[in-house]
Structure 1
Amino acid sequence: MNPTYVFVHGSGSSGRAWSTVQQEMALRGHRTLAVDLPGRGAGFSQAYHDQDLKTFATEPSSLADVTAEQTIGHVIDVVRRVHEHGPVILAGHSFGGLVITAVANAVPDLLSHLVYIAAQCPVSSAAAEYPAGPAWASSDFLPAAMAITVGNPADLGFIRLNWRGADPAILERLRRALAAELTPEQYLGLIAYTQPDEIFWQTDPAWDHRADKATWGRVPRTFVRTGLDRAMPPEAQDLYITEANALTPANPFAVHTIPSSHTGFFRGPAELADILHDLRHCRGEKQTTETLCANRMVR
C-alpha cells in the first residue's frame, strides 16, 4: 500500500506553502496532505493591511489561546485519520519539526517515516534554548526578525511581526535569510501571505517536547539540509542531526543536502520531491526495510 505524505508547515506559514511540493509529488504519483496548524490566518487585519501601527500593536490575536497540546493534538488527529488508509510519512519544515517530534513521541506506531526539512529537532535541550547557542550565531533571520517585532511577546501572549513594515535594509536581510532565490519583487509576493502572528510557546523554555528515545527514537527518519540557509544555518541543522544520532545510534538520520535557502525549495521543489519519492519503500513493514532506509547517509 502506498504511503500518504503529511506536511507540517513552519512558523508564520500555512498549509498552502506546500502547494508546489504537492504538485511535484502528484506528478510522481503520490498522495499528500498539507496541514493547517490551529490559528492560521491570525493577524491579517485591516490595521495590518493599512499599516495602522497603533491599532495593529494592540489588536488581540486568536493565537494567544492556542496551546501546544492543541497544536500537537491537531496533527495527531490528522495522522490517525490518514493512517486508516495506509502508511504515513510525516514531514515538517522549520518550526514544524517541533510539532512532528512531539507527534512521534506520542504516536510512533502510526508513523512509517519522519522527514525534517531544515527543521528543529530538540534532543538535549528545550527547543527555545537552541537559537541562543553558537550554532545559530550566523543566522541573519533572528536579528532581522527582532527589528520587525511588534510589542513584547511575553505581554501579548503571542509573537507579532510586521512583515510589511520593514525598512528596505531589513527587508533585504530577511529576503536573503529566508528566500535568497527570490528577487525582491518576488519576495514581496511571499510576505503578502506570510502570517504576522505566531504562537509564543515555541520560544518558552518551559515547553520541553524533546525527542523521546523510547518512542520517537523507533521511527525511521530523514533530514534534508538546506545548504544555503541563512535563517537556520547548516551548523544548527547539523547539531540537531548529531544529537539525534547520539540518542539513537542504531537508528540515525538519513541525511541529504539540497542547494536551497530556508524556503527556496518551495520555488524549485523537484530535488526535494525526488528525495521524498525515494521514501515510498520506507514503510516500516519489515525491520530490514527500516534499517536500510534509516542508515542510508547521503550528503
Structure 2
Amino acid sequence: MNPTYVFVHGSGSSARAWSTVQQELTLRGHRTIAVDLPGRGAGFSQAYHDQDLETFATEPSALADVTAGQTIGHVIDVVRRVHEHGPVILAAHSFGGLVITAVANAVPDLVSHLVYIAAQCPVRSAAAEYPAGPSWASSELLPAVLPITVGNPAELGFIRLNWRGADKATLERLRAAVCAELTPQQYLGFIAYSQPDEIFWQADPAWDHRVDKATWGTIPHTFVRTTLDRAMPLAAQDLYITEADALTPANPFAVHSIPSSHTGFFREPTALADILVKLEQ
C-alpha cells in the first residue's frame, strides 16, 4: 500500500506552512496531510490585527492551557486514523521534532518512517538544554525575536511575539535568521501567517521526550540538514544526528542535506520532495 505523509509544523507556525510541500508531492501522485497542533491555525485576535498593543499584551491565549500530552495525543490520533489506510511517514520541522519523537516513542508500530527536517531530536539531554548549549551558540534566532517578544513568558505561561510590530531593522534580522532566501517583500507575506503565540515548552519538563531506543530506535529515520540555516546551526543539527546514531548504531539516521535556510525549503520544496519520495522505495 502507498504511504501517507503526515507533516507536523514548527514553532509559531501552522499546517498552512506545508502547503507548497504538499502541492509538490500531490503533483507527483502522493498522499499527504498536515496537522494543526492544538491552539494553532485558529486565526488572529482583533487586538493583534489592529495592533492594539495594550489589549494584545494582556489578552488570554488559546495555548495557555495546552499541554504536551494534548499536543502529542492529537498527533497520535491523526497517525492512528491515517494508518488505517496504509503506512505512515511522519515528518516534522523544527519544534515539531519534539512532537514526532514523543509520538514514535508511544506508538512505534503505527509509524513506518520518521523524517526530521532541521528538527529537534533530543537524545542525551533534556529538550530545553540543547538551545542553551554550545552547538546553538551561533543561532541568530533568539536575538532576532527578542525585540518583538510581548510580556514575560514565565509570567504569561506562553510565548507571545508581535510579528506585525517589527520595525524595518528587526524585520531584516528576522528574515536573515529564518529565511534569508526571501526578499523583504516576500518575507512580509511569510510573517503574515506566523502565529503570535507559542507554548512555553522550554520551561515545561513535560516536553522532555528523549528518543527511546526500544521504541523510537526501531523505526527507520531520516534527518534532512538545512545547510544555510542561521536559526538552527548545522552544529546543532549534527549533534542530534551524532547522539542518535550512538544510541542506535544498528539503525542510524539516513542523512541528506539541502541548500536552505531554516524555512526556505517551504518556498522551494523540490529538493525536499526529491528526498521524501525516495523513502517509499
Structure 1's consecutive aligned runs of 4 or more residues displaced over 2 angstroms after TM superposition are 201-207
Seen in structure 2, the aligned counterparts of structure 1 residues 58 and 42 have a Cα distance that, compared at 3 Å, is: farther
Q: Which residue of structure 2 aligns with residue 277 of structure 1?
A: 277
Q: Which residue of structure 1 aligns with residue 266 of structure 2?
A: 266
User: What SS does the aligned partner of 1:237 have?
Assistant: helix
Equivalent residues of 2:68, 2:206 under 8 A apart: no
Greater CA drift, 207-216 or 197-206: 197-206
Equivalent residues of 1:43, 1:196 under 8 A apart: no
Greater CA drift, 34-43 or 187-196: 34-43
User: What SS does the aligned partner of 2:173 have?
Assistant: helix
- Taking the aligned partners of 1:40 and 1:26, their CA distance within structure 2 comes to 24
Could you list the runs of 5+ residues in structure 2 that have no partner in the other structure?
Answer: none
Equivalent residues of 1:177, 1:230 under 8 A apart: yes
* Aligned residue type for 1:85: H
How far does residue 200 in structure 1 lie from its aligned partner after superposition? Answer: 1.3
Equivalent residues of 1:88, 1:112 under 8 A apart: yes
- Taking the aligned partners of 1:42 and 1:147, their CA distance within structure 2 comes to 25
Q: Which residue of structure 2 aligns with residue 169 of structure 1?
A: 169
Q: Which residue of structure 2 aligns with residue 200 of structure 1?
A: 200
Equivalent residues of 2:94, 2:119 under 8 A apart: yes
Seen in structure 2, the aligned counterparts of structure 1 residues 128 and 6 have a Cα distance that, compared at 3 Å, is: same
User: What SS does the aligned partner of 1:29 have?
Assistant: coil
* Aligned residue type for 1:209: H
Q: Report the count of equivalent residues.
A: 281
How far does residue 254 in structure 1 lie from its aligned partner after superposition? Answer: 0.3
Q: Which residue of structure 1 aligns with residue 102 of structure 2?
A: 102
Q: Which residue of structure 2 aligns with residue 32 of structure 1?
A: 32
Equivalent residues of 1:67, 1:201 under 8 A apart: no
Equivalent residues of 1:38, 1:74 under 8 A apart: yes
* Aligned residue type for 1:169: A
User: What SS does the aligned partner of 1:131 have?
Assistant: coil
Equivalent residues of 2:14, 2:40 under 8 A apart: yes
User: What SS does the aligned partner of 1:62 have?
Assistant: coil
User: What SS does the aligned partner of 1:57 have?
Assistant: helix
Greater CA drift, 137-146 or 252-261: 137-146
Equivalent residues of 1:179, 1:264 under 8 A apart: yes
Q: Which residue of structure 2 aligns with residue 153 of structure 1?
A: 153
Q: Which residue of structure 2 aligns with residue 65 of structure 1?
A: 65
* Aligned residue type for 1:274: D
Q: Which residue of structure 1 aligns with residue 216 of structure 2?
A: 216
How far does residue 206 in structure 1 lie from its aligned partner after superposition? Answer: 5.2
Q: Which residue of structure 2 aligns with residue 16 of structure 1?
A: 16
Q: State the TM-score, normalized to the length of structure 1.
A: 0.92
Question: 1:146-202: CA deviations, max 9, x gaps?
Answer: 221111111111110011111221210110111111100110111111000001124
What is the identity percentage for the equivalent residue pairs of Structure 1 and Structure 2? 85
Could you list the runs of 5+ residues in structure 1 that have no partner in the other structure?
Answer: 282-299
Seen in structure 2, the aligned counterparts of structure 1 residues 55 and 12 have a Cα distance that, compared at 3 Å, is: same
How far does residue 8 in structure 1 lie from its aligned partner after superposition? Answer: 0.3
Q: State the TM-score, normalized to the length of structure 2.
A: 0.98
- Taking the aligned partners of 1:2 and 1:204, their CA distance within structure 2 comes to 38
Q: Which residue of structure 1 aligns with residue 92 of structure 2?
A: 92
Question: 1:21-52: CA deviations, max 9, x gaps?
Answer: 01110121110010111001467211111211
RMSD (Å) for aligned C-alpha atoms:
1.1
* Aligned residue type for 2:228: L
Query: Where in structure 2 are the equivalents of 1:69-148 lying within 5 Å?
Result: 69-148=69-148
Equivalent residues of 2:37, 2:74 under 8 A apart: yes
* Aligned residue type for 1:151: G
* Aligned residue type for 2:161: L
- Taking the aligned partners of 1:239 and 1:24, their CA distance within structure 2 comes to 30
Question: 1:52-79: CA deviations, max 9, x gaps?
Answer: 1111110100100110000000000000
* Residue 236 of structure 2 is aligned to residue 236 of structure 1: yes
Q: Which residue of structure 2 aligns with residue 252 of structure 1?
A: 252
Equivalent residues of 1:43, 1:61 under 8 A apart: no
Q: Which residue of structure 2 aligns with residue 291 of structure 1?
A: none
Greater CA drift, 205-214 or 259-268: 205-214
Equivalent residues of 2:98, 2:207 under 8 A apart: no
- Taking the aligned partners of 2:213 and 2:7, their CA distance within structure 1 comes to 23
Seen in structure 2, the aligned counterparts of structure 1 residues 130 and 205 have a Cα distance that, compared at 3 Å, is: farther
Equivalent residues of 1:129, 1:205 under 8 A apart: no
User: What SS does the aligned partner of 1:22 have?
Assistant: helix
